[in-house]
Amino acid sequence: MTSSAMPPAAPAPNPASSLEVPPTGPVTAPLATPAATQAAPGTPMIAIDNVSKWYGDFQVLTNCTTATRKGEVVVVCGPSGSGKSTLIKCVNALEPFQKGQITVDGTQVANRKTNLPKLRSRVGMVFQHFELFPHLTITDNLSLAQRKVLGRGKDEAVAKGLALLERVGLKAHAHKFPGQLSGGQQQRVAIARALAMNPIVMLFDEPTSALDPEMVGEVLDVMVELAREGMTMMVVTHEMGFARKVANRVIFMDKGEIVEDAHKEDFFGSPRSERAQQFLSRILSH
């Protein structure tokens, strides 16, 4: 999979290159143009410090601590019910937590004084079920929050949306409604919608789990491109191919705990915990 490290193959097109930026098309502006951040490269963009969360008596997160540095891609995996989706929803305060602290680009998420809408507008999020707004056209889906949250004018917001739509290869669908697109197309629009806000980090919550198998690739392509452009990303996924390809670190969660937090090579080479080994053998055996 690390095609760039391999010697040039025969003149035939390298099959792996199909996963990369299509060679055709305009030589392009990057997908993402993040807003200015306080963090210098290498400093933590998302710091999760000792976070615990309960639903009533049931503890869903137990003392989770990890950090995502600027420009880093962190993949979060683990069996269902392990708390991985809950953890990344804590990052933009979609889920409250009762103990610990999360800091995004220097801003404390759980601080009462924090302007949450403003913080969230800088944290892009992509959901398992896309969650495009079904009553709005694709263009309106892309421009709504730009106009209402960032205060951009209509023309500017639409232009920005269309530019991103072109980058995810869907410009021809701008006038359609979400229900008229396939799942993979909807998810690419959802990524473009998040990017239209110039986020400083992107959170992905199982972005390919609800897709038909043949549509997984088109969504992962966009995510790979985004990662290579240096976007800071936290990705909950079972796509270990994606993790191998672009992740810097892999976090393995089980029963609400971060069991393993390792560099990709270490994680896929020899996971230290037995639970991670079992998990990997189960999802990689097919």
Partner 1 sequence: MNYNWNWGIFFDLSPEGTGTYADMLLSGLMWTIVTALCAWVIAFAIGSVVGVLRTLPSRAAQAVGNAYVELFRNVPLLVQMFLWFFVLPEVLPESWGTWLKQLPNAPFYTAVVCLGFFTASRVAEQVRAGIQALPRGQRMAGTALGLTTAQTYRYVLLPNAYRIILPPMTSEFLNNLKNTSVALTIGLLELTARARSMQEFSFQVFEAFTAATILYILINLVVVTVSGMLERRFAVPGR
Which chain residues interact with partner 1 by CB under 8 A?
Answer: 89, 92, 94, 117-118, 120-123, 125, 127-129, 131-135, 144-145, 148-150, 176-181, 193-194, 197
Residue 247: CB minimum distance to partner 1, A: 22
State the pairing for strand pair 107-108/99-104: antiparallel
Residue 81: CB minimum distance to partner 1, A: 17
Find the DSSP H helices in the chain. Answer: 84-91, 116-121, 138-148, 154-167, 183-195, 213-228, 240-246, 264-269, 274-284
Nearer to partner 1, 201 or 259 (CB): 201
Residue 105: CB minimum distance to partner 1, A: 15
Nearer to partner 1, 222 or 262 (CB): 222
Nearer to partner 1, 29 or 149 (CB): 149
Nearer to partner 1, 53 or 122 (CB): 122
Residue 146: CB minimum distance to partner 1, A: 9
Residue 203: CB minimum distance to partner 1, A: 8
Nearer to partner 1, 129 or 263 (CB): 129
Residue 238: CB minimum distance to partner 1, A: 19
Rounded (10°) angle between helices 138-148 and 183-195: 20
Nearer to partner 1, 135 or 171 (CB): 135
Cα–Cα distance, 187 to 213 (Å, whole number): 13
Amino acid letter, residue 239: E
CB 82, CB 256: distance < 8 Å: yes
Residue 25 has which token pair? Answer: 């098309």
Between the CA of residue 78 and those of 46, 53, 86, what are the distances in Å? Answer: 20, 18, 12
256: exposed, middle or buried (C-beta count within 10 Å: 0-12, 13-18, 19+)?
Answer: buried
Residue 133: CB minimum distance to partner 1, A: 5
* Nearest partner of 39 among 14, 81, 72, judged by Cα: 72
**Measured at the alpha carbon of residue 187, what is the angle toward residues 84 and 42, in degrees to the nearest 5?**
55
Nearer to partner 1, 122 or 245 (CB): 122
Residue 150 has which token pair? Answer: 């960032």
Give 58's strand partners: 55
